[in-house]
Amino acid sequence: MRAPRLVVLLSGGGRTLVNLVDCIRRGELRAEIPLVIASKRNVQGVARARDLGLAVEVFRPQDFPDRAAFAAAQSARILEARPDLVLLAGYLLHFPVPAGLAGRVLNIHPSLLPRHGGKGMYGDHVHAAVLAAGDEETGCTVHVVDEVYDNGPPVMQTRVPVRPGDTVDSLATRVFEAECRTYPEAVRRVAADLGLDAGPGGDEAAAG
Give the C-alpha distances (Å, rounded to integers) separating 162 from 124, 128, 130, 159, 178: 14, 12, 9, 10, 13
Rounded distance between C-alpha atoms, residue 133 and residue 26, angstroms: 38
Q: Phi and psi at residue 76, in whole multiples of 5°?
A: -60, -40
Q: Phi and psi at residue 49, in whole multiples of 5°?
A: -60, -45
Judge whether 109 counts as a catalytic residue: yes
Active-site entry in 94, 109, 125, 143: 109
Q: Phi and psi at residue 138, in whole multiples of 5°?
A: -140, -150
Angle between helices 124-133 and 168-193 (to 10 degrees): 110
* Contact criterion met (CB below 8 Å) for 90 and 13: yes
3-state secondary structure of 190: helix
* Contact criterion met (CB below 8 Å) for 13 and 44: yes
Helix (H) or strand (E) holding 68: helix 67-80
List active site positions.
109
